[in-house]
Amino acid sequence: MLYRVRHETVYTYEDPVQLSHNLAHLQPMRRSGQTVDSFALEVFPEPAVVSSREDAWGNVSHFLLVQEAHREFRIVANSQVRVDGAAGHDLSTTSPWEEVAASVRFRPRGELVKAAQFRHASPFVPSLAAAREYALESFPPGRAVLEGAFHLMGRIHREFRYDPQATTVATPLAEVFAKRRGVCQDFSHAMIGALRSLGLPARYVSGYLETRPPPGRPRLVGADASHAWVQAWSPDPGWVDFDPTNDVIPASRHVTVAIGRDFGDVTPLKGLLLGGGGQKVSVSVDVEPLG
């Protein structure tokens, strides 16, 4: 699939902002099965400094320094992305989960080191007894690691209720497990926490999902939103995507922007500012299929 993605974020402030430093994770990443044909940022007011870098995980971030006084800050990311879809894998033939956990726990070397860094707790995904208790039902002794991840994904989809009013960005993971409610960020953190509780590498993926209108209805421009899902690891085939919010293995309808330990590593836009007082934010995302 070929997509045109437009992601607009607008901040409005009660008082003038004199200076702002911003870090954006808005550029889709180049990865197996995904090609970025073009990417451009529109920023208002115009930044005095714009720089970009690619980190060790393949994420591209942009630093924006705005020195002009302003009451509104607007950033628009325009991308054109080709998504080939995920290769099919027989999840039942992957290594037993206990072997995978042991391989990244005891002095990992080479490629195992890259996976091992994602088995530890992180700021948004602490170690929880509740997460381990929840995970064990999907991982009986000897079960193939990615088969267990698939089972875990399905349970979260069935047993957690999608409720945008139940949580905020700052809601602790322990509360998410207690309430069994939240949004894609919460479902992803819950699945990552469950996998890591067994010593299994898991990481957070931010991106977009093409939404389709009901039959006979036009698609609503700007009605899409950022999305989040999970990657679980096995020595063979490596990292595989799982979307617990929709109970699917992401393929051609998912556009990947960035990967990290949790949401904090891949926040679409964050920064520091001088002035501003109270603020309001609005976000509009449009994922348009081109063919």
Question: What does the pLDDT look like over 257-284, one tens digit per residue?
Answer: 999 999 999 999 999 999 988 899 999 9
Q: How far apart are CA 271 and CA 156, in angstroms?
A: 32
- 93 contacts 144 by C-beta, under 8 angstroms: yes
Which residues make up the CATH 3.10.620.30 domain(s) of the chain?
91-265
Q: How far apart are CA 67 and CA 76, in angstroms?
A: 19
**pLDDT confidence of residue 225:** 78
The mean pLDDT of 64-76, rounded to a whole number, is 96
In Å, how far are 130, 251, 283 from 133, measured between CA atoms? 5, 30, 37
Confidence of residue 242 (pLDDT cuts 50, 70, 90): very high
Which residues make up the CATH 2.60.40.2250 domain(s) of the chain?
2-84+267-289
Question: What does the pLDDT look like over 16-53, one tens digit per residue?
Answer: 999 999 999 999 999 989 999 999 999 999 999 999 99
pTM, to two decimals: 0.94
In Å, how far are 66, 140, 150 from 15, measured between CA atoms? 16, 57, 49
Confidence of residue 248 (pLDDT cuts 50, 70, 90): very high
Q: What is the CA radius of gyration of the chain?
A: 20
Candidate CATH numbers 3.10.620.30, 3.40.50.300, 1.20.120.350, 3.40.50.2000; the one for domain 91-265: 3.10.620.30
Q: How far apart are CA 210 and CA 200, in angstroms?
A: 29
Q: How far apart are CA 82 and CA 63, in angstroms?
A: 25
Q: How far apart are CA 185 and CA 174, in angstroms?
A: 14
Upper half-sphere CA count for residue 213 (Cβ side, 13 Å): 13
Write down the architecture of domain 2-84+267-289 according to CATH.
Sandwich (2.60)
79: exposed, middle or buried (Cβ count in 10 Å: 0-12, 13-18, 19+): buried
Q: Which residue has the tokens 């607007």?
A: 74
